[in-house]
Amino acid sequence: MTLTPIQDFLQANMQYNENYSYCRLNGEELGTYNGFDKIVSRENRNDDLKYTFKRMQGTYYRYLLYKESDNIQSVMFKPSDYKPSATPLENTWGGTGILTATTLDFGQYYNDIKIVTDFNYKEFCMLPVFRVFNGTTDVTNQVGAVLYDVNGISYTDYAHFIWHREHKHDFTSFYMYLVMYKSDNGNLRTRQKYFVCCSYAGKTNWIDKPYPDNNYSNVITGLWNTMDLWTGSCDGSEGSRDGRINPGHYAYCNNFYRDNPQSDFESGANPAILEVPIYEFNCENGRMKTDTIDIVIKNLANYGFMWAETVAKAIHYGIDDFDSTNVHIGEIDDNGNITGQDFGWENLENANNFGWENSSDHAPQPDPDVDRNNYITQVSIGGGVYPYNKADRWYILTEAQAISLGDKLYNADETTLNKYLNGLKLFGENPINAIMQLTVYPFDVKALTNATATESIKFGTADLGINAYKLLPPFNSYMSFSGVKVPSKYHDFWDFEPYTNLYIYIPYCGVHKLSGAYIGKEITIDLIVEFSTGTCCACVSADGIIVDYFNGKIGVNIPVTGDNASAFTSRVNSSIMNLAGSAVTTAGGALTGNPFAIAGGVAGLAQGALDISQVNSTDFSVSGSSSGNIDTIKPQYPYLIIERNTKLVPSNYGHSIGYNVQKYERLGDLDGFTTVFNPDLSDIADDMSTDEIEELKSILIGGFYV
Amino acid sequence: MEIYFYKTSSELKEVNKDCELIERKECSLINDTDRTNPSLTIDKSLINSNIIFIPSFGRWYNLASVERTNNNWVRANYHVDLLMSFKDELLEKYFLINRQESNLNPYLIDNMQSCAAEKEILIAKFDGGILNNSNTLSNNYVLEVAGA
């Protein structure tokens, strides 16, 4: 075991203080360390002081120190990776096993103490402990503190605790102790798994869905910050009731270095390993804020901590009996919210599949982000409210009906008299104005819309005598295309972009490039047609999930030409009115508004008195214009175009060049041709010359065979 | 010094070479050689040995060249085989592997692989739909008329 020279370390870290000595294990040894706490003693230490240095458990702790002297007054250091004790740790282990920093200690010396930033959580369990005080307790100094259970109320039932909280009984504050229980190399595995479960209660293990953060250091830091934010006390005094910040109550020390944690742990004595942040929660009018504890519990649950209500139970019950109801674990739902329930250990039997084998396993690497997305396996089209012109009537016509419509509008086969009469039915209006649009589609609209009801087409009150299917809302429907799956040819990266490209042709929507999301997937197309505008949208799905939408135009607008009945009727009426002294019946009919009476009169008058040029002239008007659609000539089915590069990789490629790997591997686990990145040979180059080191590096980088 | 003469057919850059011991002899290094590039005067019968181990250096050496000195003796020039010499340490050590023959992730893009300029084009037709089918081209007009 190599020790970095004390002085070098101190200078490097600018933390030199003659009252303290530091040492650390060199980086390599730390990296391979996987046993119990080890003591590294400085043999030639100052006789006046005794220092013992021990590495904290887990591969992420770099160093830890404490001093055995109880003189701490002149010490000033700002470590970031560890927290020294305020008082000699050994002196306290005979007691509760939890160290308590006094206000003085903390405020003066440990302003920058942080929670351990890296935490190998295979090694420890955490157990925050609630400690509740009544209104007469001097919380600040923890003098005369009365544990709630000592005060006569049992904590064995957590619901009881909650009940008191909800009824705002005399909780003036409570402390939370965060207790880390150390595990050994496997004997405490059953306890370890509970910890895992508690970060994702009710689930099999947290590897599937770690919560809530990507790095446990963030968890710890987050909790610490939360504590920092909330720190305050309420000891019943006037000034404390507003939840003021009390800098005297922070926490403090690691006790990861009990000489025989395993023994202590198993014997039911004090917890072998303790991490003890201490925290007070805000109070209001002498009573704990009801929402505060909710926040606390939520954080506990979210951070995956177990908790107990008292120190004693945390230590003496919880640690020895994980079936005990004294230890709680927050239940978290799938969305990461606490449910308000807590699990007993009996509910966690499904955690057995978590397979810790030894403490040297790599620390788990949770996902980088909490994934709260609601993932689905199918995406359905439709479902929205469809806007359309409810003031209009919609008909589905056959081609023959469309021709008939044109004839009627043009009055092609009508007599002059009937033209006049038809015009009158429309109250002199031009019938072409009643047509909002006539659109032709390249498919059977009735079949696609399942239209069944029929109705005679009417322009206002004028019945055209064409019986057509009524198109009822919603005025859209879709047809589906399927039967194409994108095969994987090479079963490697050549099957993906940019080496394999996919294009899709969709009638009326054109050709589009598809992403690699479709590789190996079943492609389906739902072509939605929207009848009020003639537009369409192709929804392209990969295994049922719509990935792309492509818009197009499928309906072809048809211009409609008709006889302008309004102008015709108007001219005829003018001629009629110009016939002075015409038949009384005619005038009478006109006055009474009876068109048939007028018609009768006109029938006689038209034979001689009307201006024949007025009657025989014709006016045309047009509704709409042709939108044209060359797409009707293009293929009427979709097709997929797969464009692949032709891979040319010789069979000895791996042996001669090697495949791209980018892995961190033990060389002995490999076979065949190998190249490495920037090899570090410092630990095997003791008797190698510089030239040899460079040559070996060159070989390793250039390629060799294992 | 004692020298082990081996014969190997393994790749020169193989870490753990398969070696067959031919002979173990006491030899002396030629004066102007060094630990990295030692030279020996050996019986020509030993030139079929292409790799040696020198215990006092703790290193393996590959035969680099041979120079004939007389009918019975040759000067054999060697170069240190660092892979073989430190194979135990190397095989236990972890490295960031760049390229590898067998431990590969096929979906990791490898820009050293090549392809032909010509491309394969495949066209797959979809089934379904009722577009422009002569059997379905009826009732294909939609008329919108003012007034509900």
User: Where along chain B do its domains lie?
Assistant: 2-92
Q: Looking at the domain assignment, is residue A12 inside a domain? A: no
Q: If you average pLDDT over residues A199-214, what whole number do you get?
A: 23
Q: Is A108 helix (H, G, I), strand (E, B) or coil?
A: helix
User: What pLDDT is recorded for position A386?
Assistant: 66
Q: Looking at the domain assignment, is residue A135 inside a domain? A: yes
The answer to whether the Cβ–Cβ distance between B124 and A639 falls below 8 Å is yes
State the Cα–Cα distance between residues B98 and B108, nearest whole angstrom: 12
A258: nearest Cα among A243, A274, A242, A239: A274
pLDDT band for A598, please (50, 70, 90 cuts). very low
Domain that holds residue A679: 653-705
The answer to whether the Cβ–Cβ distance between A699 and B83 falls below 8 Å is yes
The b/e string for B57-89 (b: 16+ C-beta within 10 A; e otherwise) is bebbbbbeeeeeeeeeebebbbebbbbbbbbee
| Same-domain status, A140 and A171 | yes
Among the residue ranges A188-202, A358-372, A511-525, A688-702, the one predicted with the least confidence is A188-202
Question: Over 70: is that where the pLDDT of A161 sits?
Answer: no
User: What pLDDT is recorded for position A675?
Assistant: 95
Q: Looking at the domain assignment, is residue A426 inside a domain? A: yes
A379: nearest Cα among A549, A550, A545: A545
Any idea of the CA torsion for A175, A178, A179, A183, to the nearest 10 degrees?
160
User: What pLDDT is recorded for position A512?
Assistant: 92
Chain B residues inside the 8 Å CB shell of A644: 119-122
The answer to whether the Cβ–Cβ distance between A705 and B15 falls below 8 Å is yes
pLDDT band for B84, please (50, 70, 90 cuts). very high
Question: Over 60: is that where the pLDDT of A597 sits?
Answer: no
Pick the more confident residue, A317 or A110: A317
User: What pLDDT is recorded for position A452?
Assistant: 85
| Same-domain status, A528 and A414 | yes
Please identify, among A629, A646, A663, the residue that sits at the C-terminal boundary of a domain: A646
Chain A residues inside the 8 Å CB shell of B105: 659-663
pLDDT band for B138, please (50, 70, 90 cuts). confident
CB-CB: which of B96, B125, B143 is closest to A676?
Answer: B96
Among the residue ranges A41-50, A291-300, A600-609, the one predicted with the least confidence is A41-50
User: What pLDDT is recorded for position A112?
Assistant: 26
Please identify, among A333, A351, A369, the residue that sits at the C-terminal boundary of a domain: A351
Q: Looking at the domain assignment, is residue A202 inside a domain? A: yes
| Same-domain status, A633 and A659 | no
| Same-domain status, A439 and A292 | no
| Same-domain status, A171 and A313 | yes
User: What pLDDT is recorded for position A396?
Assistant: 92
| Same-domain status, A456 and A545 | yes
Question: Over 90: is that where the pLDDT of A701 sits?
Answer: yes
Q: If you average pLDDT over residues B119-145, what whole number do you get?
A: 83
Q: Which residues contact A372 (CB under 8 A, 6 or more apart)?
A: A335, A336
The answer to whether the Cβ–Cβ distance between A438 and B102 falls below 8 Å is no
User: What pLDDT is recorded for position A62?
Assistant: 24
Among the residue ranges A280-289, A542-551, B65-74, the one predicted with the least confidence is A280-289
| Same-domain status, A164 and A273 | yes
Question: A475-497: per-residue pLDDT in tens?
Answer: 778 889 998 988 888 888 898 88
Cα torsion angle, A563, A565, A568, A572, sign: positive
Rounded to a whole number, what is the distance in Å from the CA of A306 to chain B's nearest CA? 37
Question: Over 60: is that where the pLDDT of A683 sits?
Answer: yes
pLDDT band for B86, please (50, 70, 90 cuts). very high
Question: Over 60: is that where the pLDDT of A267 sits?
Answer: no
pLDDT band for B43, please (50, 70, 90 cuts). confident
A544: nearest Cα among A295, A658, A378: A378
Q: If you average pLDDT over residues A312-325, what whole number do you get?
A: 41
Among the residue ranges A367-381, A400-414, A477-491, A582-596, the one predicted with the least confidence is A582-596
Q: If you average pLDDT over residues A328-354, what whole number do you get?
A: 41
A195: nearest Cα among A177, A211, A171: A211
The strand order across the sheet containing A39-41 reads: A39-41, A51-54, A65-67
State the Cα–Cα distance between residues A433 and A636, nearest whole angstrom: 34
The total number of structural domains that make up chain A:
3
User: What pLDDT is recorded for position A664?
Assistant: 86
Pick the more confident residue, A299 or A371: A371
The answer to whether the Cβ–Cβ distance between A665 and B95 falls below 8 Å is yes
| Same-domain status, A223 and A297 | yes
Question: Over 80: is that where the pLDDT of A671 sits?
Answer: yes
Question: A643-660: per-residue pLDDT in tens?
Answer: 999 888 888 999 999 999
Instruction: Characterize the bridge pairing of strands B39-43 and A435-440.
Output: unpaired
The answer to whether the Cβ–Cβ distance between B143 and A438 falls below 8 Å is yes
Question: A495-529: per-residue pLDDT in tens?
Answer: 888 899 999 999 999 999 988 778 888 999 999 98
Chain A residues inside the 8 Å CB shell of B112: 657, 660
pLDDT band for A334, please (50, 70, 90 cuts). very low
State the Cα–Cα distance between residues B130 and A448, nearest whole angstrom: 8
Mean per-residue pLDDT over chain B, rounded: 87
Question: Over 50: is that where the pLDDT of B52 sits?
Answer: yes
Mean per-residue pLDDT over chain A, rounded: 53
| Same-domain status, A671 and A642 | no
CB-CB: which of B35, B97, B122 is closest to A670?
Answer: B97
The answer to whether the Cβ–Cβ distance between B126 and A687 falls below 8 Å is no
Q: Which of A244-258, A562-576, B58-72 has the highest mean pLDDT?
A: B58-72
ipTM of the complex: 0.90
For an interface test with B, the pick among A360, A637, A659, A664 (most B C-beta atoms closer than 10 Å) comes out as A659
Q: If you average pLDDT over residues A449-462, what whole number do you get?
A: 82
User: What pLDDT is recorded for position A218?
Assistant: 33
Whether residue A474 contacts residue A388, with contact meaning beta carbons closer than 8 Å, is answered with yes
| Same-domain status, A383 and A441 | yes
Pick the more confident residue, A17 or A449: A449
- Measure the CA angle with vertex A85, ends A81 and A87; round to 5°: 165
Question: A559-575: per-residue pLDDT in tens?
Answer: 776 655 556 666 666 66
Q: Looking at the domain assignment, is residue A183 inside a domain? A: yes
User: What pLDDT is recorded for position B117?
Assistant: 86
Question: Over 50: is that where the pLDDT of A283 sits?
Answer: no
Q: Report the 10 Å Cβ neighbour count for A176.
A: 23
Chain B residues inside the 8 Å CB shell of A482: 126-128
Question: B14-39: per-residue pLDDT in tens?
Answer: 998 999 999 998 888 887 778 899 99
Cα torsion angle, A81, A87, A93, A97, sign: negative
User: What pLDDT is recorded for position A17?
Assistant: 29
Question: Over 90: is that where the pLDDT of A286 sits?
Answer: no
| Same-domain status, A135 and A251 | yes
| Same-domain status, A532 and A384 | yes
